[in-house]
Amino acid sequence: MNETRSYPVLVDGSRLIAEACVRAGADAYVGYPITPASLIFFYASRRFPIALPAPDEITALQWMAGLSAAGHLPVSATSFPGFALMVESVNMAYMMELPMLVILVQRLGPATGSATAGAQGDLFLLNGLMSGGYPLPVFCISDLEDCWLLPPVALQTAVDLRTPVVLLTSKEMVMTQESFDLARLAEIEPVHRTFYDGPGPYCTYDPGDGLVPPFLPVGNDQHQVRLNASTHDRCGIIQHTSDESMANTRRLPAKVESRTPVLYSLDEQEGAQTLVVTWDITSGAAREAVAALRAQGVPVSLLIPRTLLPLPAVYLETVDRYPRVVIAEENHQGQLAHLLFGRRIPPHVRLVTAIGRMIRPDEIAREVVR
C-alpha cells in the first residue's frame, strides 16, 4: 500500500477484519459457517496460516482453547445461534486464562431470528456472559477503519490479559461493500507476546506483583503447565473455596476491569446541549445526522464507544455533562442506554431504537431537535 497515493477499492468489512487479524499475528482460524459471519470464515480460510472447519461451535471453541493452550492465537467468527453454543466454553477459556478472539456478528433474533437481517441485540448477552457476572473485554466496530484497527487491539488485549476477547459487529457492517481507500490503512504491528522463561516451578496462575500471570504453553519442554476450568489455586490445582482459589477468581475481573484499553471517539461541539451516543452500525447514521444538524446550525456532540465492556467510566462522566442525551441503537429496548442509566431511563435521555431495519439519520436528528 502506498501512503501518498490513494488506492480506491470496493471492499467489505469481513475482508479487512480477516486481513488485520493475520497481520496482527493471529495464526489459527477455527470456523463454523453461520450467516452473517460466513464471509469472515471465507476470507479467513484463504488467509490464516492454519484454518480449520469445525463440526459445530462447541467444538470450534474447544479447538480454539486447545490451540491457545498450545501457544497459538486463535480466532473465530459467529452469530448468536453459534455464540450461544460457545458460552460455556468461553467461560472455560476465561477461567483457564487462554487468549483468543471471537468475532460476534449480530443478526436479528431471538433464536434463529432472521439470518440476513442486522441487529445490535447482543450487548445484554455479553454483559452477563460469565457466570458470576465477571466482565469480558468487548470491543465494537463502528466503521470500515475499525475493521482494520480493532482486531489488533482485541488480539493484543487477549494476549496481554490472557483472556478471550469479543469483537462485536453486525451484519451490515461486515457484509456491505463500500468504496474505501486502502492507502488510509496504517501498518499493523504484530501482537507483542512473550512466554515465561524464568526458573521452575512455573505456576500457571501466579500473577507475581501484577494481575496477569505470565503465559507458557502446555507441551513445552521447560516447565509443567496446569490449566484448569474449575476453581483452582495459583498452580492450577482444583480447590473448593480456599482463600487462595478465591483470590485467584477475584483476580479475573480485576485484571479485565483495570487493563482493558478504553477506546472511543468523542466529537464535542462548543455550545452543544445534546450528546448523541451510538455504537456499531448505527454510528454511520449518527455521523450523518450530526453533520446535517451542524450544517443547519444546531450544535450537537457525538460519542461512539469502541470499548463496550467493561463499560468505561468515562462514558458515564461524559453523559453526565449533557442536559440532553440521545442514544441510538438497533435493538428493542436500548441496551447501551440501560447499561448507562439502568432500567429507569431519565427523562432527559431519549432513545432511538428499531428492529428489523437500520436506524435512519433523520430519526436521530429529529430526536436531537425535539
Q: Which of residues 142-161 bind other proteins (CB under 8 A)?
A: 143
Going by C-alpha positions, the residue among 3, 1, 54 that lies closest to residue 29 is: 54
Query: Does 182 sit near other proteins (CB under 8 A)?
Result: yes
Write the DSSP symbol of residue 47: H
Beta-strand runs (E) in 143-198? 164-170, 177-181
- 35 vs 333, which CB is nearer to other proteins? 35
- CB nearer to other proteins: pick between 67 and 272: 67
Does 360 bind other proteins (CB under 8 A)? Our answer is yes
Nearest approach, Cβ of residue 171 and other proteins (Å): 9
In terms of CB distance, is 8 or 128 closer to other proteins?
8
Identify the residue among 116, 242, 258, 273 touching other proteins (CB under 8 A): 116
Q: Which of residues 77-106 bind other proteins (CB under 8 A)?
A: 88-89, 92, 96
Contact present, 106 and 126 (Cβ < 8 Å): no
What whole-number distance in Å separates Cα of residue 316 and Cα of residue 339?
10
> Does 115 participate in binding other proteins (rule CB under 8 A)?
yes
The amino acid occupying position 350 is R
Q: Which residues contact 43 (CB under 8 A, 6 or more apart)?
A: 14, 15, 17, 18, 19
The smaller minimum CB distance to other proteins, of residues 24 and 185, is found at 185
Binding of other proteins at residue 11 (CB under 8 A)? yes
Q: Is 28 helix (H, G, I), strand (E, B) or coil?
A: strand
Closer Cβ to other proteins, 222 or 273, answer by number: 222
155 and 101 Cβ atoms separated by less than 8 Å: yes
DSSP string, 305-318: ESEEES--HHHHHH
Residue 355 in the binding site for other proteins (CB under 8 A): no
Binding to other proteins by CB under 8 A, coded x per residue (else -) over 268-297, reads ---------------xxx-xx--x------
As measured in angstroms, the least distance from the Cβ of 298 to other proteins is 18
Minimal distance, residue 252 CB to other proteins, in Å: 17
Provide the 10 A C-beta neighbour count for residue 13: 27
Q: How far is the CB of 117 from other proteins (least distance, A)?
A: 9
User: Could you tell me which of 45, 43, 18, 35 has the C-alpha nearest to residue 81?
Assistant: 35
Q: What is the DSSP letter of 232?
A: B
Interface residues for other proteins in 192-251 (CB under 8 A)?
218-230, 236-238
Told to check if 358 binds other proteins by CB under 8 A, we report yes
For other proteins, which residue of 50, 262, 316, 369 counts as binding (CB under 8 A)? 50
**Least gap, CB of 74 to other proteins (angstroms):** 8
CB 306 within 8 A of CB 277: no
By C-alpha distance, which of 357, 355, 360 is closest to 109? 355
